[in-house]
Structure 1
């Protein structure tokens, strides 16, 4: 949250100011205007990326929220922005006592998985299943879309999202596991399933 605010109130504001002051120093010539447009485009691109990163860093206050509420918030936020309905279920303890890092991991996992489904399978049915059982938190996001080649290099993100590699790194950094299953279009049982598993230690915390 601090980093998000610093980006928004620091570099983003200076870039916006630079764009406004540019008009005062650009020579009133054809070459000057061409150069000014190039500079304005570069500033606008940088500003857009900084704002996207800022949005990506910002999260609702998850500290005291039960895990079930964290799951619900991630889904409700996506539904509100995408105007789509997501079928979901939650089984087990609503508040197993996981720490903030686990809550953020679950939130980001659902956020990124739903974003991927919207981009790559916009007309697919999506379902989320979350559970607390067997000493672990498990969350899966599945769709019946066209699927994709999981061995292909990931496309770079420009909207502040981490991408699937970032989710794997986050999960593994706190002792969790991240799996992707996908069957390409034209095959039986096509679609994609993303799975997250975070172990619970004694006392419920990860």
Structure 2
């Protein structure tokens, strides 16, 4: 059996409504069409005060309403016009407090945590103290980070050669290390610290 999370959109204004009314019925249809695949409902969460996170909702009768309540209340790009108060670290800690209190809490992984860094081994929108605060606030929700980010082929030309100006994984200023985010790839670095 394989598991996957088919709803991986990032949000935008009123995306929570689109997710609940349009994407969720597609998830239900996919589960019927391909029952041998365990499909979870979730999204790439526009994380307040940070970059993005993978949010995976447990399979329950309330999964649609659970994601709607999280996304509509906390994702930074949901309101229009934009609300700068939604894009803060305190708002993320409030979101995690809300999530950990749910009957069936989701799990969340920080995505590409070093991608917004301006230099190798630097920190951008995600930094160690922030990720530690997430885990301290909701240890069963904020469970890790993505070490092998997406967009790995972004640096490749159609013929398979490396583009001279290509950025593997869309890491423009702080490159990946062998295809892995520096926060997880550096021996004795941040990931090792979290594990310790």
TM-score under structure 2 length normalisation: 0.30
Higher share in helix: 1
Structure label with greater radius of gyration? 1
Instruction: Choose between structure 1 and 2 for higher RCO, CA contacts under 8 A separated by at least 6 residues.
Output: 1
